Structure 1
Amino acid sequence: MGSIQSTMAGCGFKSAGERPGCRDCKHGQQEYSDRMPPYDKAGWKCKRYGFRVTAMAICDTYESKKGATT
Structure 2
Amino acid sequence: MGTIQSRKMAVNFLNAVQRPGCRTCQHSQQVYVDRMPPYDNAGMECTRYGFKVTAMAICSQHLPARAGTP
Which TM-score band applies after superposition, normalised by the shorter structure?
0.7 to 0.9
How far apart, CA to CA, are the structure 2 residues paired with 1:66 and 1:10? 27
State the TM-score, normalized to the length of structure 1.
0.87
1:56 aligns with 2:56: yes
Q: Aligned residues, how many?
A: 69
How far apart, CA to CA, are the structure 2 residues paired with 1:58 and 1:12? 19
Deviation (angstroms), 1:10: 0.5
Q: CA RMSD in A?
A: 1.7
How far apart, CA to CA, are the structure 1 residues paired with 2:34 and 2:43? 11
How far apart, CA to CA, are the structure 1 residues paired with 2:2 and 2:66? 34
Large movers: runs of 4+ above 2 Å: none
Identify the residue that residue 23 of structure 1 maps to in structure 2: 23
Structure 2: gaps (5+ residues): none
Identify the residue that residue 7 of structure 1 maps to in structure 2: 7
How far apart, CA to CA, are the structure 2 residues paired with 1:24 and 1:2? 32
Structure 1: gaps (5+ residues): none
